[in-house]
Amino acid sequence: MEEKKIIIKITEDGKIFAETSGMKGKQCLEYIQILEELLEAETIDSEFTHEYFETNVVMNETQWQMIKGE
């Protein structure tokens, strides 16, 4: 399982750039929203990483047995 990260860069003129890593799908948006609240900031421009378009597949033992038909 990949580690979840938020990479933050702050420029000399106070602009804040943030990039998420290790988060698939819309999960990254939750972290950016928390970051906005902590910094009292608002996103003015964004791009989705390739991970945004991926999904996490999590199965527990019961689901696996159902898929296998057991």
For the stretch 1-36, pLDDT in tens is 678 888 888 889 888 888 888 888 888 888 888 888
- What are 61's two structure tokens? 């033992």
Q: Which pTM does this prediction carry?
A: 0.59
Measured between alpha carbons, how far is 30 from 32 in angstroms, rounded to an integer? 6
How many beta carbons lie within 10 A of that of residue 20, not counting itself? Answer: 21
What pLDDT score was predicted for residue 66? 44
What pLDDT score was predicted for residue 43? 87
| Torsion sign over Cα 23, 27, 29, 35 | negative
